[in-house]
Structure 1
Amino acid sequence: MPASRAARLTPVIEMAERAERDAARLLGQGQQQLDQAELKLGELQQYFSDYQQQWLTQGSQGVSGQWLMNYQRFLSQLESAIGQQQRSVDWHRNNLHKLRQQWQQRRARLEGLSKLVERYLQEARVAADKREQKLLDEFSQRLAGRPKPD
C-alpha cells in the first residue's frame, strides 16, 4: 500500500524536479546578467577615472574654453551613464535575490516530497517484512504441529 502511494507521487516529483531545474537555470542567468552589469559599471567608472586623469594632465598644460565646456558636458554624460548603470546593477541584484528565493523554495519543496516518498517506501519495506515474517511464523507453526515422520 505505501509503495503505491510513493508511485503515485512520481509525476509530482518529476514536476517538482523540473520546476527546481528551471529555477536553477534562471538563477544562473540572473547571476550572469548581474555580473555583466557590474562589469559594465566598473568599465564606466574606470573610464570616468581615466578621463579625470586626462583633465589633470591636459589642464596643467592649459585648455581652451571650448575644450573645458566639452569636457564638462562629456563628464556630465558619463556621470549620468554611471548612475543609470548603477540602477541597472541594483535592479539585477534585487532580481537575483528574488530568483534565489524562488529556487530555494522549489528546492525545499522537492526535498520535502523526496522525504515523503522515502518515508512511504520505508513503510512499504516494513510492511513487506512484517508480512514475510508472519508467513514464516505461520509456516513454522504448521511444521511444528505436524507429526514427525519416522
Structure 2
Amino acid sequence: MLKKAGRLAPVVEMAGQAERDAAAKLAKLQVQLQQAEQQLAGLEQYRNDYQQQWITRGQTGVSGEWLMNYQRFLSQLETAIEQQRSSVQWHARNVEKAREQWRQAYARLEGLKKLVQRYHDQARQMADRQEQKAMDEMAARAGHLNRPKPGDIS
C-alpha cells in the first residue's frame, strides 16, 4: 500500500501545481474584473458630474451650439459606459469560468490526497495486523516453552 501511495506522489504534486495555477489565474482575473468595475464606476460618476454641469449651466441659459455639443458628448459618454458594462460582464464570465476550473482542480487534488491517505491507513493497518500476528506467535511459543513437560514434578 505504501508503494501505491509513493507512486501517486508525482500525480499529487502535478495536481497541486494545477490547483495553484488555477488559483493564480482566478486571482488575476478577479483583479481585472475589479479594475473594469472601477472604470465603469468612474465613467458613471463622470457622466453624473457632466449632467449636473448641464443643470447648473442650463439655469443661466445656453447656446444651441453648446447644447448640441453637450448632447453629442453625452451620447459618446453613454456609448463608452455601455461598452464598459459589456467589458465588466465579459470579465465576470471569465472569473466564473476560472472559479469553476479552480474548483475542479481543488476537488481533484483533495481526492488524490484522500486516496493517498487511504493507502497509508491500509498499510498501517496491515503492519499492525502483522505485528499482532507476530506477537501472538511469540506468545504462543513462549506459552509452549513454559508448560510443564510430562514427568516434571512441580
Q: Report the TM-score, using the length of structure 1 for normalisation.
A: 0.96
Residues 85-106 of structure 1 show CA distances to partners (whole Å, capped at 9, x for unaligned) of 0000000011101000000000
**4+ residue runs over 2 A deviation:** 147-150
Q: Which runs of 5+ in 2 are unaligned?
A: 149-153
Correspondence for 1:57:
56
Name the structure 2 match of 1:111: 110
Distance 2:147 2:103 in 1: 66
Q: Where does residue 123 of structure 2 map in the other structure?
A: 124
- When structure 1 is superposed on structure 2, of 134-143 and 92-101 the one drifting more is 134-143
Number of residue-to-residue matches in the alignment = 149
Counterpart for residue 99 of structure 1? 98
Q: What is aligned with 1:136? A: 135
Shift, 1:146, TM fit: 1.6
| CA distance in 2 between partners of 1:77 and 1:20 (Å) | 43
Deviations 1:74-133 (CA, angstroms, capped at 9, x unpaired): 101100100100000000011101000000000010111111001000000000000111
Point out the structure with max Rg over C-alpha: 2
Match of 2:70 in 1: 71
The sequence identity of aligned pairs, in percent, is: 58
TM-score normalized by the length of structure 2: 0.93
Unaligned runs of 5+ in 1: none
Q: Distance in 2 between matches of 1:29 and 1:37?
A: 13
CA displacement, residues 59-88 of structure 1 (integer Å, 9 cap, x when unaligned)? 111111111111111101100100100000
* Root-mean-square deviation (Å): 1.4
